[in-house]
């Protein structure tokens, strides 16, 4: 349970519900653990048969310290006297008396008849309320953990998502939280009721055994109860590593699903269907093996405890026979012992489930406890609408410590400049642009906008001043209108329609049968590439930010779509600071400033013609692409 202590903070909102559930669980345990054994001890012998006549040679028992319930039951329901012996003089050895059914008044008959139903009515109602209230508390706690997990994913830097795959993160958010749900369900059913039942039955064993033979019989009866702890601890230790491996393998399966469905066109194009099936089959077989390792240890617990309980009952039976424990007392003790082993088995199962839940929690904590290097400053500077004067001062950045992607970059991009970033693949162009909105944090140096360090601004203020049109824009499976509102959620319908017209998107949207209410489909699957680009440009129009980042928005379009997108972009860039990540040089001819990147450094800066005349790298890149396009 120590594993779950840090999460007790979530109990504040549900503490009243939780306390009520605990109280009902205690009532459930007391009703079963005490009610049934005491009925067997005191009620059944008085109803069915009287105790046999005691052995004249037996040592009389000291009743001075007996539990007062004996005297109470003798008054309420007296045991019938033994049948009288013949009228002849008493023999040396008296013949055993024949037990007779004791006479009961009508209200005693009803008291006996209603004892057991009453016990189980109390158990049933208390057990139901315990399970419902504890599970309600658990589900609300799980909801908070799941929400915290999702909230954390929204604040982690992009570098984190390079380390852990999407499928693995989905598995942790779904499979591991589902495992926690199962753990909470088991806890709701048994964590309060079973300990309460165990304590009650042990109390019953102690009382009944002490009344019969004193402390020695108590020790004999309870001999095997602590021994049951050892298999519980052994199995619990084995389950931890197996449960972690099982959840990790489940994450691999989810990752495989995600990757396959994301590349469904490529799988068909290259005839990889059987290859994918074989690879998934291997992963599935590994999942089965991991699952069976968990099952192997989880299922050995119940028979282990049952064997120990059988040994304990057998020892008690031998002792009871040897020391002439009368039938009513022995049956009461036996019932209490039997009832005490059942909660032990269930507590063992609870322990196993806690280990599985702890393993899932460990995987969730890898995300929940991930440091957030990119966050709001303690005392942010107040920022309104920026002009867009961007400057890099001695900036160095690396995804891996040993491999810098940008080296000592120094450059200033005045407000209103259309700046193109060109260079070979991997030269650092995209990384340079991604540092401006703080998608990544520079290792050294400083990035400023209008003279303000981006690390001194609130992230929301900084990013509100930046619009992004990527090479592969993402649309969510909502209406086209809702997708456009992502640019500015408080925009009016008229502003949305105006942005769509400026992006040359209004006409094709209206052409859909449902117009702006048309669902975009998963990742915008209902739209063509050119239509998605124009939707992204419309969002940028709606945002109307002073800084615009274009990640080669026309690189994958046909001629007609490219013309429509280029016309929209020409309107969009007016009056803004624009960073164009250029893969096609046809898009940068009108750029007022070009930065040439090579191996993480800016090796040249200037306009197109000047760079073409003076920089060999720029000329070779330009001529190579012009030759390829010609």
Domains in the chain: how many in total?
2
* 157 plus 265 within the same structural domain: yes
Instruction: Decide if 384 is inside a domain.
Output: no
Sign of the torsion formed by the C-alpha atoms of 497, 498, 503 and 508? positive
* pLDDT surpassing 50 at residue 64: no
Instruction: Decide if 149 is inside a domain.
Output: yes
Q: Name the residue range of residue 498's domain.
A: 390-629
* 326 plus 417 within the same structural domain: no
Instruction: Decide if 87 is inside a domain.
Output: no
CB 593 within 8 A of CB 419: yes
Instruction: Decide if 45 is inside a domain.
Output: yes
Instruction: Decide if 378 is inside a domain.
Output: no
Instruction: Decide if 123 is inside a domain.
Output: yes
* 483 plus 354 within the same structural domain: no
Q: What is the CATH number of the domain that holds 574?
A: 3.40.50.300
* 622 plus 495 within the same structural domain: yes
What is residue 624's three-state secondary structure? helix
Instruction: Decide if 75 is inside a domain.
Output: yes
* pLDDT surpassing 80 at residue 503: yes
* 336 plus 405 within the same structural domain: no
* 341 plus 462 within the same structural domain: no
* 440 plus 336 within the same structural domain: no
- Max distance between CA atoms of the chain, in angstroms, equals 141
In angstroms, the CA 322 to CA 298 distance is 38
* 251 plus 140 within the same structural domain: yes
* 256 plus 317 within the same structural domain: yes
At 359-387, the pLDDT tens digits run 888 888 888 888 888 889 989 998 999 99
* Most confident of the following: 99-108, 301-310, 351-360, 459-468: 459-468
Q: 140: buried, middle or exposed (CB in 10 Å: 19+, 13-18, 0-12)?
A: middle
* 528 plus 458 within the same structural domain: yes
Q: What is the CATH number of the domain that holds 323?
A: 1.20.1560.10
* 397 plus 337 within the same structural domain: no
* pLDDT surpassing 80 at residue 583: no
Instruction: Decide if 381 is inside a domain.
Output: no
* 339 plus 411 within the same structural domain: no
Band of residue 495 on the pLDDT scale cut at 50, 70, 90: very high
* pLDDT surpassing 90 at residue 249: no
| Residue 594 CB coordination number (10 Å) | 25
Q: 59: buried, middle or exposed (CB in 10 Å: 19+, 13-18, 0-12)?
A: exposed
């Amino acid at each position: 349970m120590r594993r779950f202590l840090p999460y007790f903070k979530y109990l504040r909102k549900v503490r009243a519900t939780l306390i009520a559930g605990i109280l009902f669980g205690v009532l459930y345990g007391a009703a079963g653990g005490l009610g049934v054994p005491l009925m067997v001890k005191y009620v059944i012998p008085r109803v069915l048969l009287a105790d046999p006549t005691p052995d004249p040679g037996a040592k009389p028992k000291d009743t001075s310290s007996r539990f007062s319930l004996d005297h109470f039951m003798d008054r309420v329901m007296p045991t019938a006297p033994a049948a009288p012996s013949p009228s002849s003089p008493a023999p040396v050895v008296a013949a055993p008396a024949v037990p007779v059914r004791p006479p009961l008044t009508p209200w005693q008959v009803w008291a006996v008849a209603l004892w057991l139903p009453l016990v189980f009515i109390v158990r049933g109602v208390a057990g139901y309320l315990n399970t419902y209230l504890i599970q309600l508390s658990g589900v609300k706690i799980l909801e908070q953990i799941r929400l915290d997990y999702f909230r954390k994913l929204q604040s982690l830097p992009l570098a984190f998502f390079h380390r852990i795959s999407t499928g693995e993160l989905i598995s942790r958010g779904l499979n591991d939280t589902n495992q926690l749900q199962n753990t909470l369900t088991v806890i709701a059913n048994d964590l309060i009721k079973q300990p309460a039942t165990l304590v009650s039955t042990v109390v019953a064993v102690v009382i009944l055994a002490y009344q019969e033979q004193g402390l020695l019989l108590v020790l004999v009866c309870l001999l095997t109860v602590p021994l049951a702890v050892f298999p519980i601890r052994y199995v619990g230790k084995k389950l931890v590593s197996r449960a972690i491996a099982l959840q990790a393998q489940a994450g691999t399966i989810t990752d495989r699903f995600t990757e396959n469905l994301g590349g469904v066109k490529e799988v068909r194009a290259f005839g990889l269907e059987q290859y994918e099936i074989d690879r998934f089959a291997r992963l599935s077989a590994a999942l089965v093996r991991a699952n069976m390792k968990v099952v192997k240890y989880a299922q050995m617990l119940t028979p282990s405890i049952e064997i120990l309980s059988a040994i304990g009952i057998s020892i008690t039976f031998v002792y009871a026979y040897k020391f002439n424990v009368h039938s009513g007392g022995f049956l009461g003790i036996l019932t209490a012992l039997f009832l005490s082993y059942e909660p032990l088995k269930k507590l063992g199962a609870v322990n196993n489930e806690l280990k599985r839940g702890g393993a899932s929690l460990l995987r969730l904590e890898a995300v929940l406890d991930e440091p957030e290097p990119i966050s709001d400053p303690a005392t942010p500077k107040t920022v309104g609408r920026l002009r867009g004067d961007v400057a890099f001062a001695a900036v160095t950045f690396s995804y891996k410590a040993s491999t810098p992607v940008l080296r000592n970059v120094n450059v200033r991009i005045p407000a209103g400049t259309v700046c193109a970033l060109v260079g070979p693949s991997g030269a650092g162009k995209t990384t340079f642009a991604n540092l401006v909105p703080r998608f990544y944090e520079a290792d050294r140096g400083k990035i400023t906008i209008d003279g303000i360090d981006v690390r001194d601004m609130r992230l929301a203020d900084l990013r509100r001043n930046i619009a992004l049109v990527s090479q592969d824009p993402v649309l969510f499976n909502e209406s086209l209108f809702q997708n456009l509102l992502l640019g500015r959620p408080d925009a009016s319908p008229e502003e949305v329609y105006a942005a769509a017209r400026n992006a040359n998107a209004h006409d094709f949207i209206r052409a859909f049968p449902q117009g702006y209410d048309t669902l975009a489909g998963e990742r915008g699957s209902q739209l063509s590439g050119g239509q998605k680009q124009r939707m992204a440009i419309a969002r940028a129009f709606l945002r109307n930010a002073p800084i615009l980042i274009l990640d080669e928005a026309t690189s994958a379009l046909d001629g007609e779509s490219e013309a429509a997108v280029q016309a929209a972009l020409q309107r969009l860039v007016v009056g803004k600071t624009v960073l164009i990540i250029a893969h096609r040089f046809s898009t940068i001819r009108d750029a007022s400033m070009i930065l040439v990147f090579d191996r993480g450094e800016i090796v040249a800066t200037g306009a197109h013609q000047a760079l073409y005349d003076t920089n060999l790298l720029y000329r070779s890149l330009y001529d190579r692409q012009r030759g390829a396009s010609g």
